[in-house]
Structure 1
Amino acid sequence: MATPPPTLPPGDRGSTATTSLLVTGRAEVADGVVALTLARPDGGRLPDWTPGAHIDLVLPHGPVRQYSLCGDRWDAHSYRVAVLREAGGRGGSAFLHDRVREGDRLGLGGPRNNFALAPAREYHFVAGGIGITPLLPMIAQADMLGLPWRLLYGGRTRASMAFAGELARDHGSRVRVVPEDEHGRPDLAGWLPEPSSGAKVYACGPVGLLAATRAACEDWPPGQVRTERFAAADGTAGAGVAGFEVELRRSRTTFTVGPDQPLLRALAEAGVHVLSSCRQGLCGTCETTVLDGVPDHRDSILDEADRAAGDRMFVCVSRARSERLVLDL
């Protein structure tokens, strides 16, 4: 049985309910973007990760936020994340910008990977703003393997685009940097090659960019285009218009989820606490195995093939299309 989400006592900067990480470096890497380097206080080894992975940062006053790992995956003793200050956010990014300094401690959850780099003969990367972060380790991996790759990187202004200078300097013509105030929005259709079964497209950024990428790749083979978003897709919600029955196979418990009741809350009320974080269908923390029934997927993680398989769901936002779901809980 999963444990409740980690929380921290208000104002306690020194203890966490997860692994404690020490902030060992802090740098402004673009207008409104700060990069944090994190390590274990004892200098020990951190969990391994793969390109596309993210971690949970548990803030001292309790909130949990997800950030893509964008450092060197072969460095076993430090993590790097980059945090965009979100003017309309919930306060987590502002706290990390304004309050967190070297020597402070943060809690760690993960790492987890919902955006893994699959094998391909060549890669075409599309980034918008802070969406560059999960793509950096992917570029490094493709480089290490000697595989062809290219990057189209858009942003509001050149000064707001983290790591743009070093990418252009280190990789030359393989990187196209497109600040909107200089060149307008990226020409995705003109930049993307003809569809190829040996190539894969990876895109991360604002919802509009991801929709444009999907539209430009409409003729690509299924499974060749992968996207990751930092905001929930329109229409994701934890409740719906119809109730349904849930059986928990391991707990030998059956209950009904009401029409306006999120499944995650119904599970908690039944005494089953599933670890969750974003509660928007973005982070993957609450992934649960489905043994029977048809999920109503409302997350922003699974692709169409995963949805059709119907063998897992994210219970913070998803519900049931069938009258009954059987979960491995």
Structure 2
Amino acid sequence: MDIGTPVTRPPDLYGRPRSDSFMQKLAAFSDNAVTRLARRSSPPGRPPATKMPVIRELVVAAKHQEAEDVVSLRLAAPAGSSDGSSDGSSDGEKLPPWQPGAHIELHLPSGRKRQYSLCGDPADRYRYRIAVRRIANGGGGSAEVHDVLGEGMRVAITGPRNAFPFAAEASVLLIAGGIGITPLLPMAREAARRGLDWRLVHTGRSRGSMPFAAELAELAAAAPGRVSIRPDDESGVPEAADLLSSSPAAGAVYCCGPAPMIDGVRRAFGGSCASALHFERFAPAPITDGRPFELQLGDTGRVLPVPYDRSALDVLHEALPDLPFSCRQGFCGTCRVRVAHGDVDHRDRRLTATERAAGAMLPCVSRAPEGERLVLEV
């Protein structure tokens, strides 16, 4: 997931705007203390341990069709975990708190791991809600949620974790594309609760494809003039400058949706009256400034060429199908490998300087200089 801030600052190695210090502190807060403690006890020559995620078993308490190809799941503590019931009622076990923008990692029965934004009410401590759009020709995770998971089934999660925190600036514009409404819906409710000057624009192919229509209608009725629903088949595909035109002066923009929409908003942001841009992607960002390099699989001597337009993870996964991965955007750490030899061009937002020096690498985003060969411990 990517988080951007004022685009007047120089871009980082990903070609994205740099985060301001406040947002960096928010994103890193949950990891720093445990990382420091783990680093002290790590054996020499190996990447220091980071905070081990807590895996929690929940039950699918409810499953609803929210739109064409979109289902929502309500997850609650299973029966027997407390003195409550299995439906996640107020007598059940409380779940860890979360703030708008947070996500959980869903551990599917097949072993796949996928991350989904929490889109329910943070005040509801007994249920988490996520929404999943079926992605044709995807990696299979969304199809598994749609076709395999049912009410009453148990499923493991890790999190919540927040890589897209809502700073609750005095004036905000929320721009959602399709399923991108999931992290922004709790932000809109929080903005309304705080009495902020806020606007929400939800775009999509058609009304039938846009989830949570009833909830957005209720929000619009309670806050006249602040919610705009813009289906492409009714009003045409909006231009990014048009979407940004409703931004309050010097306000902050939060954007989540398809990559073309995010890229368009980023390009048009400089011509808007907004002062800060934060965004989240559901797919890996395009590779920028990629150069070809090589990966060697340990002492086997097997060498894998990595082209300029592919990630090291993609190439590794073809050779090592069991290699775990999740976010593919350099912040979860699931795909971590150890580099025994070679210079790494680190592009992640997870590893500490000490971990990098010890050889840790996240191949989903990190690369190597042109022509370099990275020898991996596998």
Q: What band does the TM-score fall into relative to the shorter chain?
A: 0.7 to 0.9
Name whichever structure is richer in strand by fraction: 1
Distance in structure 1 (CA, Å) of the matches to 2:121 and 2:254: 19
What TM-score results when the alignment is normalised by the length of structure 2?
Answer: 0.64
Match of 1:46? 95
Structure 1 residues 131, 294: closer, same or farther in 2, change over 3 A? Answer: same
Match of 2:292? 241
Q: One-letter code of the match for 1:35?
A: S
1:31 partnered with 2:68: yes
1:319 partnered with 2:370: no
Name whichever structure is richer in helix by fraction: 2
Distance in structure 2 (CA, Å) of the matches to 1:170 and 1:105: 32
In the TM superposition, 1:108-127 aligns within 5 A as 108-127=157-176
SS of 2:264's partner is helix
Which of 180, 185, 197 is 1:148 aligned to?
Answer: 197
Cα deviation for residue 220 of structure 1 reads: 5.5
In the TM superposition, 1:94-105 aligns within 5 A as 94-105=143-154
Q: Is the 8 A contact 1:51 1:135 kept in 2?
A: yes
SS of 2:130's partner is strand
Identity fraction in percent: 42
Cα deviation for residue 183 of structure 1 reads: 1.1
Match of 1:203? 255
Q: One-letter code of the match for 1:212?
A: G
Q: Which segments of 5 or more consecutive residues in structure 2 lack a partner in the other structure?
A: 1-47, 82-91, 296-302, 315-322, 337-342, 351-355, 373-378
Q: Is the 8 A contact 1:168 1:176 kept in 2?
A: no
Structure 1 residues 282, 32: closer, same or farther in 2, change over 3 A? Answer: farther
Which of 117, 139, 145 is 1:90 aligned to?
Answer: 139
SS of 1:26's partner is strand
Match of 1:277? 325
CA distances 1:270-306 after superposition (whole Å, capped 9, x unpaired) = xxxxx96326216634599xxxx99442x6x79xxxx
In the TM superposition, 1:209-248 aligns within 5 A as 209-219=261-271, 224-235=276-287, 241-242=292-293
Match of 2:56? 19
Match of 1:175? 227
CA distances 1:191-242 after superposition (whole Å, capped 9, x unpaired) = 42488774100000001110111122124699711111111122279x9535
1:68 partnered with 2:113: no
What TM-score results when the alignment is normalised by the length of structure 1?
Answer: 0.73
Structure 1 residues 110, 236: closer, same or farther in 2, change over 3 A? Answer: farther
In the TM superposition, 1:156-171 aligns within 5 A as 156-171=205-220
SS of 1:284's partner is coil
Q: Is the 8 A contact 2:250 2:275 kept in 1?
A: no
Aligned length: 284
Q: Is the 8 A contact 2:247 2:274 kept in 1?
A: no
SS of 2:142's partner is helix
Match of 1:307? none
Q: Is the 8 A contact 1:276 1:316 kept in 2?
A: no
CA distances 1:54-109 after superposition (whole Å, capped 9, x unpaired) = 11000112110110000011111110000101112111111111121111011101
Q: Is the 8 A contact 2:257 2:281 kept in 1?
A: yes
Structure 1 residues 62, 222: closer, same or farther in 2, change over 3 A? Answer: same
Q: Is the 8 A contact 2:73 2:131 kept in 1?
A: yes
